[in-house]
């Protein structure tokens, strides 16, 4: 099942190689957990020094304008100097956002990181992790763990709280449960991200080459037997969400480098109040997202990433923009209907929440690699920008791998 969507009706996010909302810093490839869909080889001796991290930040600031820096890995909390790394980013006037599995996160550490300038966290939690105490739990059961983190982050305060999870063939059906959970906690959960599982297929229809030489891809962590499903589309995830929530409507996207009509990043923004069942007033439309991105760029010279909770809870004032955006108009109508049913509803805060669906690399039948155009998750390799989802390739082979369709077998 896949959703039909015309990219020309959505706002193309304006992010590009030199001017983006975020960039991706990897201070370490060390991790304290195993995740099935991880792109990095766990290396406990891979912590970068602070001067190496300064050098990576210099590359970002010399090549790219951005609003936030995702501090990822590996797990960045395994780095002994994580608070200093956060402070180094904040001192450059950028928003540090930690991408972590949360295992090493305590309230005390969170307070220390916030003091150092932390602006938000993205917690990766899904059912294909070997997380002690949660091994074998379903995505629905894991919502209890997500809530523990969301409550801790809300208690420390003034931090953006995001969750991401990898979506596999057998967890696709659970996506609406996470969407529903996030809706219920819209006041403390600001972003949810679903990433379609991707992996290079071994024994599949392609051979892999670097500089004209054939390479065996079995060494990179994102190589799997061809039997694994690696073609879940963002529109498949969308259709699964819409089956439960027919109103769910994306407003913006990032296209693929090879296919302008593919949805590599698909973004929905919704407005609502928390509670059981959570009340969603509506979904913002493309004009609102265009206004949000371009106004921020006009005022601050950067595209917006990770708004803070103080901004996101001002959903009622966003409704004033309904003359320019059809999504906001229907959200305003829904808000007024709720207020007419019960005037106390009018007093409730309305919060804004983003739901992002990411569809990483697709290899087209002729071997072309359809990457995210204007990749926000560019990291640094050897002083230049590199796709973080494929960093293992230049590290192992000196360059990104080319995919070449296998020749059809000869019959005689």
By CB under 6 A, name the binding residues for ligand SF4.
264, 360, 371-372, 375-377, 387-389
Q: In this structure, are strands 11-12 and 252-254 parallel, antiparallel, or unpaired?
A: parallel
Q: What's the min distance (Å) between Cβ of 317 and ligand SF4?
A: 31
Strand partners, 163: 123, 192
Residue (257 or 345) nearer to ligand SF4, CB: 257
Name residues whose C-beta falls within 8 Å of residue 219's C-beta, 6 or more positions apart in sequence. Answer: 392, 396
Least spacing, CB of residue 360 vs ligand SF4, in Å: 3
Task: Choose between 238 and 375: whose C-beta lies nearer to ligand SF4.
Answer: 375
67 or 187: CB nearest ligand SF4 = 67
Q: How far is the CB of 264 from ligand SF4 (least distance, A)?
A: 6
Residue nearer to ligand SF4 on the CB measure, 123 or 153: 123
CB-nearer residue toward ligand SF4: 35 or 110:
35
Q: How far is the CB of 40 from ligand SF4 (least distance, A)?
A: 12
Place of tokens 């919704």: 270
Which tokens in the block code for residue 364? 């087209």
Whose Cβ is closer to ligand SF4: residue 181's or residue 303's? 303
How far lies 258's CA from each of 365, 373, 394, in Å?
12, 8, 21
Pick between residue 387 and residue 397 the one whose CB is nearest to ligand SF4: 387
Q: Compute the least distance from the CB of residue 253 to ligand SF4, in Å.
A: 13
- For residue 286, which phi and psi values (nearest 5 degrees)? -60, -35
Closest CB to ligand SF4 among residues 70, 78:
70
Spatial distance between the Cα atoms of 183 and 274, rounded to a whole number of angstroms: 7
Beta-carbon contacts of residue 324 (< 8 Å; ≥ 6 apart): 287, 288, 291
Task: Please tell me the distance from the alpha carbon of residue 381 to that of residue 385, in angstroms, as a whole number.
Answer: 6
Instruction: Classify residue 76 by its DSSP letter.
Output: G
DSSP secondary structure letter of residue 127: T
Nearest distance, CB of residue 24 and ligand SF4, angstroms: 7
Closer by beta carbon to ligand SF4, 204 or else 360: 360
- Number of alpha carbons in the 13 Å side-chain half-sphere of residue 23: 29
Toward ligand SF4, which CB reaches closer, 69 or 375?
Answer: 375
| Residue 359 beta carbon to ligand SF4: minimum distance, rounded to whole angstroms | 8
- If one counts every other C-beta atom within 10 angstroms of the C-beta of residue 45, the result is 7
For the CB of residue 254, give the shortest distance to ligand SF4 in the complex, in Å: 8
Residue 265 near residue 357, CB atoms below 8 Å: yes
Contact between 288 and 246 (Cβ < 8 Å): no
Residue with tokens 């054939």: 214
Burial class (CB in 10 A: 0-12, 13-18, 19+), 128: middle
Q: How far is the CB of 190 from ligand SF4 (least distance, A)?
A: 20
As measured in angstroms, the least distance from the Cβ of 147 to ligand SF4 is 27
Sort strands 369-370 and 362-363 into parallel, antiparallel or unpaired.
antiparallel
Strands 68-71 and 95-100: parallel
47 or 390: CB nearest ligand SF4: 390
Output the smallest distance, CB 127 to ligand SF4, in A. 21
Residues 6+ apart with CB under 8 A from 265: 13, 234, 253, 254, 356, 357, 358, 359, 372, 376
Burial class (CB in 10 A: 0-12, 13-18, 19+), 218: exposed
Name the residue with tokens 């005689």: 412
Q: CA 87, CA 84: separation in Å to the nearest integer?
A: 5
């Amino acid at each position: 099942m896949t959703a039909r969507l015309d990219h020309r009706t959505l706002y193309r996010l304006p992010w590009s190689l030199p001017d983006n909302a975020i960039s991706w810093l990897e201070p370490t490839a060390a991790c304290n957990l195993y995740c099935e869909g991880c792109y990095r080889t766990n290396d406990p001796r891979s912590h970068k020094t602070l001067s190496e991290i300064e050098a990576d930040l210099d590359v970002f600031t010399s090549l790219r304008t951005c609003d936030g820096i995702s501090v990822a890995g590996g797990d960045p909390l395994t780095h002994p100097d994580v608070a200093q790394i956060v402070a180094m980013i904040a001192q450059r006037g950028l928003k540090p956002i930690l991408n972590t599995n949360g295992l090493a996160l305590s309230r005390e550490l969170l307070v220390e990181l916030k003091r150092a300038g932390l602006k938000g966290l993205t917690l990766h939690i899904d059912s294909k992790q070997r997380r002690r105490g949660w091994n074998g739990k379903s995505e629905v059961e894991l919502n209890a763990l997500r809530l523990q983190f969301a409550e801790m982050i809300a208690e420390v305060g003034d931090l953006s709280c995001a969750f991401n999870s990898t979506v596999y063939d057998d967890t696709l059906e659970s996506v609406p449960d996470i969407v529903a959970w996030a809706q219920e906690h819209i006041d403390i959960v600001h972003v949810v991200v679903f990433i379609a599982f991707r992996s290079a297929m071994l024994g599949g229809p392609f051979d892999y080459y670097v500089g004209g030489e054939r390479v065996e891809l079995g060494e990179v962590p994102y190589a799997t037997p061809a039997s694994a499903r690696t073609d879940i589309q963002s529109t498949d995830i969308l259709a699964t969400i819409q089956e439960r929530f027919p109103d769910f409507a994306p407003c913006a996207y990032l296209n693929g480098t090879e296919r302008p009509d593919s949805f590599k990043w698909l973004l929905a923004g919704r407005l609502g109040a928390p509670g059981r069942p959570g009340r969603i007033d509506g979904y913002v439309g493309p004009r609102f997202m265009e206004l949000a991105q371009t106004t921020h760029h006009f005022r601050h010279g950067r595209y917006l990433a990770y708004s803070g909770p103080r901004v996101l809870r001002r959903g009622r004032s966003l409704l004033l923009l309904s003359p320019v955006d059809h999504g906001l108009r229907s959200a305003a109508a829904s808000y007024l209907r709720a207020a007419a049913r019960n005037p106390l509803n009018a007093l409730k805060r309305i919060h804004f929440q983003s739901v992002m669906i990411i569809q990483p690399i697709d290899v087209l039948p002729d071997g072309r690699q359809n990457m995210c155009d204007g990749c926000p998750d560019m990291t640094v390799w050897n002083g230049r920008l590199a796709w973080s989802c494929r960093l293992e390739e230049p590290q192992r082979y000196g360059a990104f791998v080319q995919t070449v369709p296998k020749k059809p077998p000869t019959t005689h």
